[in-house]
Structure 1
Amino acid sequence: MYIGPELSLFISRCAEVQSEAEIKDLLTEAGILLRLPKFALVSHVDLLAEGTRAVAISNYHDDWIDRILSRRYYLDDPLHAASTRVRMAIAWHDASKFVQLTARQTAILAEAEGFGLYDGITIPIHSPGEFRGTCSFGGGQRLLVTAELLAVVQLVAVFAFQAARRVIHQAAYLSRPPIPLLSPRHVECLGMAAAGLSNKQIGHRLGLAEDTVHKYIQEAMRRYGIGKRGALILRAVFDGQICYNNAA
Structure 2
Amino acid sequence: MHDYNGSAVLHAIRLISATVTSAETIEALAVFIEAYGFEKIFLGQLVNPMNVPLKDILYLSNWPEELKAARRTRAAILHDPIAFCAVRSKRPFSWAEARAHATRAGRRTVDMVHDYGITHGMMFPMHALESVSGGVSLGGGVKPDLSPTEIAELEIVCQVAYYHLEAMLGPFPYQKVAELTPRETECVQFAAAGKSNWEIAHILGIQEDTVKKTLRRARDKLDAVNRAHLVASAIARHQILP
Q: TM-score, normalised by structure 1?
A: 0.67
Partner of 2:66: 63
Say yes or no: does 1:134 pair with 2:162: no
Of 94, 97, 100, which aligns to 1:94? 97
Q: Deviation per CA, 1:141-189, whole angstroms, max 9, x where unpaired?
A: 12323212221221122111101111111598xxx9xxxxxxxxx9x98
Partner of 2:33: 31
Partners of 2:96 and 2:68 in 1: how far apart? 21
Q: CA RMSD in A?
A: 4.4
Paired residues in the alignment total 227
Q: Which moved more, 1:12-21 or 1:117-126?
A: 12-21
Unaligned regions of 5+ residues in structure 2, if any?
Answer: 177-182, 207-216, 223-233
Say yes or no: does 1:162 pair with 2:163: yes
Return closer, same or farther for 1:98/1:146 CA change in 2, 3 Å cut-off.
farther
Say yes or no: does 1:148 pair with 2:145: no
**Cα displacement (A) at 1:84:** 2.4
Q: Deviation per CA, 1:75-97, whole angstroms, max 9, x where unpaired?
A: 22221122123221111121145
Identical columns (%): 17
**Cα displacement (A) at 1:128:** 2.3
**Cα displacement (A) at 1:40:** 0.8
Partner of 2:241: 244
Question: Secondary structure in 1 aligned to 2:90?
Answer: coil
Partners of 1:58 and 1:171 in 2: how far apart? 18
Partners of 2:94 and 2:157 in 1: how far apart? 16
Partners of 1:88 and 1:18 in 2: how far apart? 29
Return closer, same or farther for 1:133/1:229 CA change in 2, 3 Å cut-off.
closer
Contact 2:87-2:134 at 8 Å conserved across structures: no
Partners of 2:164 and 2:10 in 1: how far apart? 15
Contact 2:126-2:133 at 8 Å conserved across structures: yes
Return closer, same or farther for 1:94/1:129 CA change in 2, 3 Å cut-off.
same
Return closer, same or farther for 1:232/1:46 CA change in 2, 3 Å cut-off.
closer
Partners of 2:112 and 2:60 in 1: how far apart? 20
Partners of 1:31 and 1:98 in 2: how far apart? 27
**Runs ≥4 residues deviating over 3 A:** 47-52, 96-100, 188-198, 228-233, 240-243
Contact 1:39-1:135 at 8 Å conserved across structures: yes
- The one-letter amino acid of 1:50's match is P
Question: Secondary structure in 1 aligned to 2:137?
Answer: strand
Q: Deviation per CA, 1:200-221, whole angstroms, max 9, x where unpaired?
A: x99xxxxxx969xxxxxxxxxx
